[in-house]
Chain A
Amino acid sequence: MKELELSTLLTELSQAPGASGFEEEALEVAAGYLRPYVDRIERDPFGNLVAFKKGEAPEEGRKSLALVAHIDEIGAMVTKLEPGGFLRFTSVGGIDPRTLYSLPVIVHGKNRLRGVIGAKPPHLLSQKELEKETRLEDLFIDLGIPEEQVQQQVRVGDYITFDQAAQLLAGGSCLAGKALDNRAGVAALVVCARELERVRHQADLYLVATVQEEVGVRGAITAAYGLAPDAAVAVDVTHGEAPGISGGKAFALGSGPVIAMGPNIHPALLQQLKKLAKEYRIPHQLEAVAGPTSTDARAFQIARQGIPSALVSIPLRYMHSVVELLNLEDLLWTGRLLALLARHLEFNFAWEEEAPCT
């Protein structure tokens, strides 16, 4: 996939609204991109999207691998209609209220309404107000339109997403926008599917876009149970290096996917990922996570009788803001690494045969 196409793919995914529990539009974009490369696409009862690509091994004893990326994004929900037609709201997923001042939004009422989160002009602000903690409950949305129209169009419980265009940055290697956590992961699944278009693989492959990750890794719970794959790799984002953030918690942009290590990760699966990355010269970084990761890998690991799981992440700056920023090369390498795994994974997870750490 050429870089230009990659930025188009990610832009379309990024701009589609898809707050947790409201993922339909984003799922449609993902399905459209995956369809040409897979045998069938289905939705499970919880709403997850499952693209299936049949492996070539004999049906008897054929193994399966699930590559999983959550498609939902952080967003907000209407809690109250104020006099004057202004809206109060709560967050869906973890948002720093300080990132919300003066943000353009879309309220998904009867129709799609554009608005803005109001910010009092500095001329009218007291020093006290400037120093006050920003609380979600003090913020409001202004739709511009008259109060009666707001009452006809908007109900408490309506979803709110951010009205943010994705922006390719100078040089064409980085892209900034909303919901790159985790449309980047979904885009990596598309890259992987395309890589596998003319490549034989023995195991069945599930490419899964899960819902409701941002509110507690929920879609992954039902997907893991329903698919019961023999191994699973979650594809998500991790923190990118930026001023004031480093020291093992953040990773360089442009240095390749980040492979997680720790109790959430099956050592044999980890070894194979590292070996493939090394053998095929895929730049990569390693991340130590001391407990369960806050990703879909957490749910897959403990589904049914337990599923060997791993996590591959794309470094991303300013997570959970509308200006998340990543390097497209990292996304491309991630997709390639996943395709290599789909092709070469040996389903041998016996503990006594664990390879020594290298």
Chain B
Amino acid sequence: MYLEELSNLPGVSGDEGQVRQALLKYLQEQPGEVRVDALGNVLVRRKAPPGGKRIMLTAHMDEVGLMVTSIEKSGHLRFEAVGMLDPRVLVAKGVRVGREGIPGVIGSKAIHLQKPDERRKPYQLEQLFIDIGAKNKEEAEKLVSPGDYVSFAGTFTPLGEGYYRGKAFDDRAGCSVLLELLLEYPHLAFDAAFTVQEEVGSRGAAVAAYSLNPDKAVVLEGTSAADIPGTDPEGSATRLGEGPAITFMDQSVIADRGLVRELVRAAEGAGLPYQYRRFTGGQTDAGAVSLAREGVPCTVVSVPCRYIHSPHCLLQERDLKLTVDLIRAWLEG
């Protein structure tokens, strides 16, 4: 499992360098030809199956995060969100700023100093700031500048047996599955793309799909599991521990029906548990991939993760393994 190493690395959309470097190091150990394209996608080209169709698997390297927009006189940093973030999860969190990973925290007004009606209103992004402990603007400017990327501090932690807590499981879970498929199964004939900038509109996937020009594609994701209190069981989208989730539709794609059937048949043939993603919201790289060149049959297979797009997601190792197993069964089928 490569999730711990990959999830702890910073890799906000447009700043995927550290994830890319970690992947490139591992990818030397597998037979495919590896290159980095103009946008920063990592592309792996393997021999096509004899007379067969080219299959592309993708996972996005980037995660949601922040970007510094200005520095206050006091040395505090103002920021904007990169990707879709609920501002409420940012309060009282540790972050890392810029290439050097300068540690900082997102502070909030002490409860003692708040008026009662102040507390009833959820935090908005523009009320929040990052504190790196700089005395003033001049001192802060020596360490950071506007445009610097900000990621959550990586704190991967096992919870009980086979459960993990950490950041960026969307989509380092997918990266971990894809890397494992590439490294553990050198005989499998497929191409792979670790894409950039999914969280800001699947910008990497579009060009990766153009370059690799596949006949069909499966996007590997970490998707919402909302099997949690306060949500109707019907609204859970996916559930932890019940295996990979197959997408039939999301906001960006209507999945290829034939491909969905192939995956279901592969799961049932191998006796592997699977679930459908029972939610059609959210966008994925499948949208951009399906529209590449003259069109690519595509769907998404996801590892269910709770609390995605927050600094502390939660997933079950069993689902990661079952996702590898399903894709392998399908490819070997």
A101 in contact with B91 (CB, 8 Å): yes
Asked whether A143 and B160 contact (CB < 8 A) given A99-B92, A321-B92, the answer is yes
A145: nearest residue on chain B (CB-CB)? B160
A145 in contact with B107 (CB, 8 Å): no
Interface of B is mostly: loop
B310 in contact with A320 (CB, 8 Å): no
Partner of A165, one of B119, B123, B155, B161: B155
A336 within 8 A of B: no
B91 in contact with A121 (CB, 8 Å): no
Tell me which residues across on chain A come within 8 A of B160, comparing CB atoms: 113, 143-145, 149
A134 in contact with B88 (CB, 8 Å): yes
Asked whether A323 and B92 contact (CB < 8 A) given A101-B310, A132-B122, A143-B159, the answer is yes
**B204 CB, nearest partner CB in chain A, Å:** 20
B73: nearest residue on chain A (CB-CB)? A243
A138 within 8 A of B: yes
Tell me which residues across on chain A come within 8 A of B309, comparing CB atoms: 121-123
B104 in contact with A103 (CB, 8 Å): no
**B69 CB, nearest partner CB in chain A, Å:** 14
B283: nearest residue on chain A (CB-CB)? A123
**B94 CB, nearest partner CB in chain A, Å:** 6
Tell me which residues across on chain B come within 8 A of A42, comparing CB atoms: none
**B126 CB, nearest partner CB in chain A, Å:** 11
A116 in contact with B132 (CB, 8 Å): no
**A295 CB, nearest partner CB in chain B, Å:** 12
Interface string of B152-181 (1 = CB under 8 A from A): 010101111101110000000000000000
Asked whether A122 and B86 contact (CB < 8 A) given A84-B227, A132-B122, the answer is yes
**A102 CB, nearest partner CB in chain B, Å:** 4
**B281 CB, nearest partner CB in chain A, Å:** 6
The segment from A64-72, A171-179, A204-212, A274-282 that touches chain B is A171-179
B270 within 8 A of A: no
Asked whether A170 and B110 contact (CB < 8 A) given A86-B229, A119-B310, A145-B160, the answer is no
A84 in contact with B229 (CB, 8 Å): yes
Complex formed: what's the CA distance from A293 to B171 in Å?
49
Interface string of B102-124 (1 = CB under 8 A from A): 11111111111110000111110
B165 in contact with A242 (CB, 8 Å): no
Tell me which residues across on chain A come within 8 A of B111, comparing CB atoms: 94-96, 319-320
A325 in contact with B131 (CB, 8 Å): yes
Interface string of B134-159 (1 = CB under 8 A from A): 11000100010000000001010111
Q: Spell out B's residues near A (CB within 8 Å).
A: 72, 74, 76, 84-86, 88-89, 91-94, 102-114, 119-123, 127, 129, 131-135, 139, 143, 153, 155, 157-161, 163-165, 224, 226-231, 235, 237, 279, 281-282, 306-312, 314, 316
22 A-B residue pairs with Cβ-Cβ distance under 8 Å, sorted by A, are A86-B228, A94-B112, A101-B310, A102-B89, A116-B314, A120-B231, A121-B309, A123-B84, A123-B224, A124-B224, A133-B122, A134-B122, A170-B103, A170-B134, A173-B133, A174-B133, A243-B74, A294-B112, A317-B107, A318-B110, A321-B91, A323-B92
Q: Spell out A's residues near B (CB within 8 Å).
A: 82, 84, 86, 94-104, 113-116, 118-125, 130-134, 138, 140, 142-145, 149, 163-165, 167-171, 173-176, 239, 241-245, 249-250, 253-254, 294, 317-323, 325, 327
